[in-house]
Chains A and B, each alone.
Chain A
Amino acid sequence: QIQLVQSGPELKKPGESVKISCKASGYTFTDYAMHWVKQVPGKGLKWMGWINTYTGKPTYADDFKGRFVFSLEASASTANLQISNLKNEDTANVFCARKGFGVRWFAYWGQGTLVTVSS
C-alpha cells in the first residue's frame, strides 16, 4: 500500500538548520510530485510548494522562498525539506503529501514532522 513516512520530531535553536525527510513506498516515486504543507500547532494548513520528482525542479509558495529547499534522493524514494536560519515562527508540524492518480487533491499524507524552534 502507498505510504509516506516522515522523519522524527526536531528541536532546534534559532539560526540553526533542519532537514526533514519523507520516504515514499508502494508506488513509483518519480510518477508523482511531492508537496509540502505547514501547520502551526492548533492552526490551519498552509501549502509550502512542491517538487517534481522526475526532474527535481522545486516550486515554492511565496512565503517559502529563500530559506526553504526541497530536494530528492530519488534512489531512496525520498523527498527532503531543508529549512535554514530557523526562526521561532517556523515552529510547526510539516507534512508531505501526494495527489492521487490523475486527480488534483491530496489523497496521501505523511504522518507529519514537528519542528520546534526555541532558544
Chain B
Amino acid sequence: DIRMTQSPASLSASLGETVNIECLASEDIYSDLAWYQQKPGKSPQLLIYNANSLQNGVPSRFSGSGSGTQYSLKINSLQSEDVATYFCQQYNNYPLTFGSGTKLEIK
C-alpha cells in the first residue's frame, strides 16, 4: 500500500497569511494526487487534482504543486472560510489512500 504522510497535523495562522501543507508519498505517485477540504459535519470537497489543477469553482488562492513523492497545498491570503481540515489522497494505485489530515484554524 502507498502510505501518505501529511504534515503538519494542525496549523494556526492569521487572516491574510499564506499557509503550506505537505504530503509525502511512500513511493512515486506520478502526480496522481488530489487535495480535499472538509468542513465540520460535511463531506470532503475536491480542491486540487493531478497535483496542481484547480477544480472548477475553487478560489485561485488555493494552489497545488509537487511531483514524485513530495506534494504541497498552498493557501494564499487566508480567509475565515478556509477553516477546515485538509486531506491529500493518492489515486495512482489501489488501495486508494489518504493523508491523516491537517486541521487549519485562524489565530
Contact = CB atoms under 8 A, between A and B. Distances in A.
Given A103-B49, A104-B32, A105-B49, A95 B98 contact: no
Interface residues of B, number: 20
Contacts, number: 44
Interface string A94-111: 010000000111110111
Contacts of B46: 105-107
Contact of A111 (B36, B43, B49, B95): B43
Interface in B24-60: 32, 34, 36, 42-46, 49
Interface string A78-108: 0000000000000000010000000111110
A57 to B, nearest CB: 14
B32 A95 contact: no
B95 A45 contact: no
B15 to A, nearest CB: 25
B96 A47 contact: yes
Q: Is the interface of B mostly helix, strand, loop or mixed?
A: loop
Interface residues of A, number: 19
Contacts of B101: 43-45
A106 B98 contact: no
A109 B87 CA distance: 14
Interface of A: 35, 43-47, 59, 61-62, 95, 103-107, 109-112
16 contacts: A35-B96, A43-B100, A43-B101, A44-B98, A45-B44, A45-B89, A45-B98, A47-B96, A62-B95, A104-B91, A105-B34, A105-B46, A105-B91, A107-B46, A111-B43, A112-B43
Interface of B: 32, 34, 36, 42-46, 49, 87, 89, 91, 94-101
